[in-house]
Structure 1
Amino acid sequence: MQFTSNILILHNLNINRVQLFKEKKALRDFLSAEKTSNKTIGFVPTMGALHEGHLSLIEFAQTTCEVVVVSIFVNPTQFNNKEDLEKYPRTLDNDIQLIEEKFSGGIVIFAPNAQEIYGKEILSSHFDFGSVATFMEGKYRDGHFNGVGTVVKKLFEVVEPDKAFFGEKDYQQLLIIKKLVELTKLPVEVIGCKINREENGLARSSRNSLLSIDDKAESSFIYESLQEAKNNFGIKSVKDIEKDIKFAFENHPLLQLEYFEIANAQTLEPFSESKQEEKYRAFIAAYAKNVRLIDNIALN
């Protein structure tokens, strides 16, 4: 495979450290050789702009997998807002350096372009994900989960991992991926990993790099609100908790609430009364100026 920059040639030749592939065939050939040695393949899909949250996923993947593939690909079909796609941070060289500094070996980076993944037509497939795709992100981001399902299916088919690791910050997406595997019968184990947070509680996200220092500090209010919901769950009614949170955001100087919902942790369906045997989570999406942030928390 030919690379156009010296840094990419270096990564490809240094077999004991990070290896970078931009083409599916070259990656498949490499992984096929690894699988003949019965090595377990782990997969961490990302859209780049890596942070400590991503690194924690990679680190966890390495505890059970001999080879970990990290994809870095900003997927156009999961954005329903063109401006959001255009401003999404793209920092491939920094991402490579970050992984090399953190990990001594066993990491493979797959950084294709859109044509390599989709071919000539960049289109989403349609999936029947059921209720888990109906609410929250599914409601406010039309076509988002079809885009997610399309690209993850394509990536799974390229990498053919034994295990794939996703952060619970995108909890609804995690359930979507599990449903995708069920629908497509792809032989991959999907593993959810706990949310990695900034010191002030803000969930780590690539979008956090778009926030000023002051805005990042103010945005800790999102996690504080989730904690308040957790503390009041089982004491106040769901309607009263939602009312309190929405009122608090109406008076916040920076954050604009898009949604706050309490839902069944498995189906994501809303409810009026909790059942002792069921698990529930609170979900939130808010804008800090023009930066969209999401988070969630287990309530019981």
Structure 2
Amino acid sequence: MPPPVFRFAPSPNGYLHLGHAFSAMLNFDLARQSGGRFLLRVEDIDPTRCRPEFEAAIEEDLNWLGLSWERPVRRQSEHLSEYRAALEKLEGLGLIYPAFESRLDIAKLIAEQKVPHGWPRDPDGVPLYPGTSRSFAAEKAQQMIDAGVRYSLRLDMAAACARVGSIGWTERGEGPEGETGAVAAEPAAWGDVIIARKETPTSYHLAVVIDDALQGVSEVVRGQDLFWSTSVHRLLQELLHLPQPVYRHHRLIRDASGQKLSKSTDATGLRELRAAGIDPAEIRRRVGLA
């Protein structure tokens, strides 16, 4: 039986903070304890936000924490053809369609709908896409694409769910409400999610399942904020006939106000803590690792 494979997969769009340190060290510890492998993957599919200096800082921080990983490091930007091939499979199944609305357009469409109890939202609290472009004739959609109109490619969730039936996953950690063990996936809760965009042949959802499959990742250890995203990932794995990892969602590291740490909120970075004289042992203590 092959050894288990773990991975830490940050995006180089900012500096690592304590939450990243906890996830990286937990993956590394579990790999070491089980005689498994530990991989570093750079999720850099967003060229507008990802920068080489952030990637260099990631490796510097992980080295400082005492972590080591297999090389070469997989960078998503170097594997767009693999995501494009998966996208073509979904297209061949008739499960994706181009959508041309901007976020503002979607907000206006939703505002026009007089829904008594409010428009339905996905697990992250984002209003579900109303599916307007799904009804466009193929000729009209192609004309808009040829005219250079920006678009995203969305998964026809109802058709995809009908194709695979009931699915779930094995949870070795726990979800936000204490979910553990056998968990039933609920991909329909996300609506017609974006699978790719005009300028990039993938999205996080598609790239992560392709990467995990191609790298042989058997243990996905990540934060509870991604717990219900696993429903979409399990759906894509079934549609694309990809292996199913075991999932372990861990607690989030929060600030004094109870909010999860985030790059977007300028959470204190590991580099600042290091400059302040904090050592890796103290980092472990702060995140609750022995």
- Indicate the TM-score class for this superposition, using the shorter chain for normalisation: 0.3 to 0.5
Where relative contact order (Cα < 8 A, 6+ residues apart) is larger, the structure is 2
Structure showing the higher strand proportion among its residues: 1
TM-score w.r.t. structure 1 length? 0.44
